[in-house]
Amino acid sequence: MELPNNESPRCYFAVYADPTTPGHVTIEGGRFGNRNMPKNMNVGDMVLLYCTSSYRIYAKTVPGIGLVTAVDHGLKDFWYDYIAFEEPVPLEFVRFAITEGDRLRVANIRREWLFQISRESFSAVMQGTKLKSKGSSGSKISQPDMLL
% of the chain exceeding 90 in pLDDT: 65
Contact 43, 69 (CB under 8 A): yes
Domains in the chain: boundaries: 11-120
pLDDT of residue 76: 93
> pLDDT tens, 47-71?
999 999 999 999 999 999 999 999 9
Rounded to 5°, angle at Cα 14 from 10 and 18: 165
> pLDDT tens, 106-118?
988 877 789 999 9
Calpha distance 9→76 (Å, rounded): 19
pLDDT band at 143 (very low <50, low <70, confident <90, very high): very low
DSSP letters for 59-117: TTEEEEEEEEEEEETTTTEEEEEEEEEEEEEEHHHHHHHS-HHHHHHHTTTTT-SEEEE
CATH fit for domain 11-120, picks 1.10.3470, 3.10.590, 3.30.70, 2.60.40: 3.10.590
DSSP state of 132: P
Tell me what the pLDDT averaged over the chain comes to: 85
Residue 89: is its pLDDT beyond 80? yes
Rounded to 5°, angle at Cα 146 from 57 and 80: 45
pLDDT band at 141 (very low <50, low <70, confident <90, very high): very low
